[in-house]
Structure 1
């Protein structure tokens, strides 16, 4: 009933959700027959369903390169994230990872669930990597080398200052932006974007994830992962873990708002990067995660639930973003709407209110200056519409038919 309740509350989610479900099934049927490629695409669907859907729309050659790039970096990230691996074992693996992708016999057991499968059967990824074009291989190798070295550096170094924070995010995500720009260029579809703008694309996504994942990271066993910079959180509490305790709720929210305000500094660069893209499939690939990020920040801002559990966009809203994002006008509209949502939550008594509002107004000005806001469909429901009982009954009937159809299509065990 939970799912039905959400759809009844947001009935316009229904159609995008159905389209997303159909697209997901279609994508799963497109998995290549070769064992190594079948493994790679199956694994991609398991570790990131929404990302896999967006990748699936890319041209075949570029799609393969981005798929392998993503899995290589997920494997690298799995090694970094596994706090049970001793530092003297972890660091050499990270710094030599660019060599491992050429070795079809290499694997390293770590991580959990699907990530453990990825690491145990990494030879499939290496085999597929070796079938990519030379320019794609060189781009992936270069970024893997630089990222591994950066991750190794921060294994032995805490994130103290905001500069440290930006440097860490550069290594784990900004370099992903640089790598993707290189892959887009290697495909012949795009001009090579500047490193600065490519880096901002990665930093905005990574900072959003770090903000959203506070509780998961701080509760990591056997050792907490702490990515919020001391320079920010020390203004509010003595220890980063103190933010999760109820008695520190007011200070925790102020610290959270400070972190969100820091992330907003990258938005204008992201809009500039996306506005320069020419290929529609590459544009959607880049734009959808960025819209998800600004939407997530809007939900997280001033929200104590970040320190209590998981805060994320509802699936229906995610489906809307995927369905509606087709051109730059859609991006400007989404960023304008979510920045309005965030702006409405700013409390003038917040220590960073002035800075937050200034950054949001700059984002909104960029969106207004585009001259295309009138072409968007709003992501914000300003007044809850009243749906009559007939519509509710119709929704139940449609849902019942749909669920019966999907159940009938499932293979018998």
Structure 2
């Protein structure tokens, strides 16, 4: 479905989509003139447009540090992801990557499409890194070193147990949470958050991505990428790839629900982390991805389509989350609302139904106990029919403009 078709189906998304389009255009016009910074911010948009949008609201110094932190780790992740690189080549690069970021001439050809462009021109990222304040460089180097070592460990190790799963997600995402907390603290804007809360922020996002990306990972060539822990999937199938076949649908959905239930145990820590933040730009930077994560889990839960393609939040809803997330009240409303949606999808014959319900109850209790929740609004993004009608009229009036605007990329 095209953008205009999506707007016609959800006219209440129009305003947020237009705001998002304006924000993207604004970012494109603010690319720094220096070649290394220009490349870095251009690549940020190309490898993660949603991240580029939330990062732009940060103060200039912190924004530069977070941009480079993201690209350094994206480079490391590209090496890990490239299944065509022989293990004996990959391992030493992962373990030494934290040293290469200090080399203004280093680059390594790997990956595909935009990720290959990033790696072929990685020296631009290194040059930008070298201009950061020492406190930022030290934090980025530390996390990169620890992440590279953890990735190298799991190149030679399967994700067998839930503890393995937590450890792997710590290396590839929990450490991102720790690193961001260090950068926020180095900027002077926030107190240093605890490692456990920072880790949960990363694990919640990573586990959501691993759940959503099942089919893409299992179909990876030349070699499948398997991150779902054997301890969970072996209860439902002899082989992880069996879950994608139609004859395994019932067991596949049960396994999926087990995975979502596991991810939900990190939500309470995430709410605590966000409630402790003081700087509004840092708060929005952290809160928007977390809301999208629980929204994505709500879409994936009990949904066989996870094994048939990629289940993604519609662009208009994502735009509304970006536009409307400004306070912890918004976060509590979103987490409560998506938890309510998850509850409504529970099949009480599912073997994990009681545990799923228990973890959703914990999330909703935290939201209620905050005293900030609008209890009348179970879906924070719902729209009233009268508003829908007004927006539909606006859509019809400005449809030619929309066609021209969204056709330009």
What TM-score range do you get, normalising by the shorter chain?
A: over 0.9
Q: Aligned equivalents of 1:361 and 1:334: distance in 2?
A: 15
C-alpha change, 1:42 and 1:265, in structure 2 (3 Å) is: same
Match of 2:306 in 1: 306
Match of 1:291 in 2: 291
Give the conservation status (yes or no) of the 8 Å contact 2:109–2:119.
yes
Q: Aligned equivalents of 1:231 and 1:405: distance in 2?
A: 49
Looking at both structures, which has the greater relative contact order when contacts are Cα pairs under 8 Å and sequence separation is at least 6? 2
C-alpha change, 1:406 and 1:312, in structure 2 (3 Å) is: closer
Task: Work out the number of aligned pairs and report it.
Answer: 409
1:230 aligns with 2:202: no
C-alpha change, 1:309 and 1:331, in structure 2 (3 Å) is: same
Residue 268 of structure 1 and its aligned partner are, at CA, apart by 0.2
Q: Aligned equivalents of 1:372 and 1:250: distance in 2?
A: 39
Superposition TM-score, scaled by structure 2 size:
0.96
Give the conservation status (yes or no) of the 8 Å contact 1:329–1:375.
no
Match of 2:129 in 1: 129
Q: Secondary structure at the match of 2:108?
A: coil
Q: Aligned equivalents of 1:299 and 1:144: distance in 2?
A: 32
Match of 2:61 in 1: 61
Q: Aligned equivalents of 1:193 and 1:202: distance in 2?
A: 13
In the TM superposition, structure 1's runs of 4+ consecutive aligned residues that sit over 6 Å from their partners are 381-384, 386-391
Residue 404 of structure 1 and its aligned partner are, at CA, apart by 3.7
Match of 2:16 in 1: 16
Residue deviations 1:67-93 (CA, integer Å, cap 9, x gap):
000000000000000000000000000
Match of 1:105 in 2: 105
Q: Aligned equivalents of 1:107 and 1:257: distance in 2?
A: 41
Give the conservation status (yes or no) of the 8 Å contact 2:4–2:402.
no
Match of 2:263 in 1: 263
Residue 8 of structure 1 and its aligned partner are, at CA, apart by 2.2
Long gaps (5+) in structure 1: none
Give the conservation status (yes or no) of the 8 Å contact 1:330–1:376.
no
Q: Aligned equivalents of 2:114 and 2:55: distance in 1?
A: 19
Q: Aligned equivalents of 2:333 and 2:36: distance in 1?
A: 40
Superposition TM-score, scaled by structure 1 size:
0.95
Residue 104 of structure 1 and its aligned partner are, at CA, apart by 1.0
C-alpha change, 1:64 and 1:390, in structure 2 (3 Å) is: closer
Give the conservation status (yes or no) of the 8 Å contact 1:332–1:367.
yes
Match of 2:317 in 1: 317
Q: Aligned equivalents of 2:320 and 2:134: distance in 1?
A: 37
Q: Aligned equivalents of 1:224 and 1:350: distance in 2?
A: 28
Residue 252 of structure 1 and its aligned partner are, at CA, apart by 0.1
C-alpha change, 1:406 and 1:167, in structure 2 (3 Å) is: closer
